[in-house]
Amino acid sequence: MSNRFSDILFQLIHSLEKSEKRHFKLYIKRNSANEELKIVQLFDALDKMKDYDEKLLLKKLPNTGKSQLSNLKTHLYRQVLASLRLLKRSENLELDLNEQLDYARILYYKGLYLQSLKILDKLKETAVLYHQDTILIQIISLEKKIETLHITRRLPYKADQLAREANEAQERRKMITQLSNLALKLYSWYVKNGHARNEKDESGVKKFFQENLPSNSNEQTGFYERLYLYQSYNWYAFICQDFLRYYRYAQKWVDLFNSQPEMINVETGHYIKGMHNIMNAHFDLRNHAKLDRALEELEAFSHSPIVQRHDNFKVQTFISIQQARINRHFMRGTFREGLPLVPYIEEKLEAYALFLDKHRILVFNYKIAMLYFGSGDYAASIDYLQRIINEPPDLRNDLQCYARLVHLLAHYELGNFELMESLTKSVYRFMAKMENLTVVEEEMFWFLRNSFRFSRHKLKQELEQFLQKIKHLEKNRFETRAFAYLDIISWLESKAYQKPMSQVIHDKYLASRRRA
């Protein structure tokens, strides 16, 4: 995949939709009398390539040398971006605001400063309405320059107003920067490590959170201040596996958009991420009905024009919806019924390869592996787990550990006892090195190391004893990872009571529905 998309121009061209390619051709033809421009030939050659190959590219452009190709690619890259800017300006608030600000600057440098001020006045209203302080600061800066250098007859009442607006915008930006930094660093910690593994992890994250949370952050009322505040609390709770608090702040995150629906079109990515976290929280808390409602809401939103116009949002909604659908099968024990999702997901992962990061692929591989494991297809589960195990363990240490643990259980289920001793030692060493061993996992390793030595009667007794040992740990916050990544209790019950794991989980699901 890295070789396939190794060139940035190649990436850009292959990210274009048909309408965007057509617009580029029209844009070039309008700006040149020569329809056989070299950059058009380069564009067509790259567009037809499946993988980037510079030697083949030079053969397709016989009159272009290697040194010329580099300059030609740079020129084409800029022209494609310029074409996209024209096409997308009406679809994106920030692009539109920046274009209007550019017009105001052009008018100012032409000496038409009063016309420039008229544009800036209208632009400021929009920036304030949509909480766009970054652009607002630039607008005020240009206004101050004009008022300082020219006699506009507005200065007596404008000076104090501009000074006040500039100070307020800067203070807001300072708070937003502090809170967005905190949210970003907490999310980065989770992507690298997963959930807190022990008291040391939790106390470290807690200390970092408290030291970096601004003292007056809970008093803020602005949209972005509240957004990043809720995100910070959300990630902090998730890392610490406080799933109830995680749910509460995910809900606040989404409610913020519901109270200001005009911001959904401005910060669509943040809205989708909020919905993603709401669905994750319902999964963690086993809120079956609420997960169904949230999933239906996001599925409906995925068909909206704002999502359909942008590849980024289509990919984001795809990730959230498919992961929620798989999670729903996990909750219900309908693993086999979830398998038809796999070919569609695989197809989309290939189609979206350009836009997907390694972390997303990692999560999908684990979830698909668990679908096969729950369905009893342990060989297919091993295939997907190997994709994770073969990756360098630089992301999601928790998933790397549990991929190996489930891989071990799959071999146990297949009766590959000759592999068990060496595999168990290998996985145990890996998890110990990553500081990922909990009481539940220690007990699991003891059982797996010894289980193939037990008689059938003794095995049933050991399974029941193992089950009793760990059941009371289900609510322990440092043990919940073992139950979140692998429903070890249901697996043990399936072994002890000689039922498929899917049936054990489905029976629990039906019982919970009757109680509700």
Q: Comparing C-alpha atoms, which of 326, 321, 414 is closest to residue 371?
A: 326
* Whole-prediction pTM: 0.87
Q: Comparing C-alpha atoms, which of 410, 385, 382 is closest to residue 399?
A: 385
Q: What is the pLDDT of residue 199?
A: 83
Radius of gyration (Cα) for the chain, nearest Å?
A: 28
| Integer Cα distance of 474 and 481 in angstroms | 9
Q: What is the pLDDT of residue 5?
A: 58
Give CA torsion, residues 404, 410, 414, 418, to 10 deg: 20
Token digits of residue 258: 């519901």
Residues in the chain with pLDDT values less than 50: 1-2, 35
Q: What is the pLDDT of residue 32?
A: 66
Check residue 390 and report its DSSP letter. Answer: T
Residues, the chain, total? Answer: 516
Break the chain into its structural domains and give their ranges.
Answer: 8-90, 92-153, 348-516
| Integer Cα distance of 51 and 6 in angstroms | 9
Residue 221 DSSP SS3? coil
Give per-residue pLDDT as tens, 420-465. Answer: 888 888 888 888 887 667 777 788 888 877 777 777 777 778 888 8
| Integer Cα distance of 11 and 47 in angstroms | 10
Neighbouring residues of 75: CB distance < 8 A, sequence distance ≥ 6 = 39
Instruction: Quickly tell me which residue has 């290998």 as its tokens.
Output: 426
Token digits of residue 315: 């990919």
Give per-residue pLDDT as tens, 146-198. Answer: 888 876 666 567 788 888 999 999 999 999 999 999 999 999 988 888 888 77
Give CA torsion, residues 146, 150, 153, 159, to 10 deg: 50
| Integer Cα distance of 249 and 488 in angstroms | 28
Q: Looking at the domain 348-516, which fold is it?
A: 1.25.40
| Integer Cα distance of 236 and 264 in angstroms | 24
* Contact (Cβ atoms closer than 8 angstroms) between residue 42 and residue 72: yes
